[in-house]
Amino acid sequence: MTRKLLVATHNPGKVREYQALLADLPLEVTYLDAEGITLEVAETGHTFTENAALKATTYARAAGLWAWADDSGLEVDALDGAPGVYSARYGGPGASDADRYRKLLDALTGVPWVGRTARFRCVVALATPAGDVQTAAGACEGVIAFGPAGSNGFGYDPVFYLPDRGQTMAQLPAETKHAISHRGRAARAAERLLAAMLRG
């Protein structure tokens, strides 16, 4: 039996990524717009895990379907883990990706290379309509560059430098990024959880 899995996003590009990732499982992957779901869930959690679980459980209950939700962001050690869960809202309402990473670079003015360590973190939550929830996490370590480079990716990718690659996340081809990114790692861990849930 093919089960329907609701991915808690309005982004069809993200859904295509997940459809490819989960192609081996007996699932029909759908998303909010395709199901006519306009409910917005406020991200009131203090951690990525809390926000992902909140979204997954709310949408699973509302749709009567298994739901997949993620929350992710950037943690900068020199800023005590900021912007963290506020990564998407850093810079205020209406701020662009460039506005956000420029604010971040300004906040790190004078911080030497050795002190600019950071990581992208992602948590995926899987929830059933009955309220059962499981989570999987992924992280990607790097350094905040002194300026942006690259035109691929989005968000903070242009200033997230990977020392072992000698490039920013925004300079990597998409396939390479998905293989090493926080979201790719969390998604692959969640895929294993999902396979176990389907067997159960």
Residue 1 banded pLDDT, cuts 50, 70, 90: low
The one catalytic residue in 71, 97, 106, 132 is: 71
At residue 23, the pLDDT reads: 86
Question: 14 near 30, Cβ under 8 Å?
Answer: no
Instruction: Let me know if 71 is a catalytic residue.
Output: yes
Which residue type does 44 have?
A: T
pLDDT digits (tens, 9 = 90+) for 74-98: 999 999 999 999 999 999 999 999 9
Q: Which domains does the chain have, with CATH numbers?
A: 3-199 (3.90.950.10)
Cα 56 to Cα 62, 90, 96, distances in angstroms: 10, 23, 26
Which residue type does 13 have?
A: G
The conformation of residue 163, written as its DSSP 8-state character, comes to T
Which residue type does 164 have?
A: D
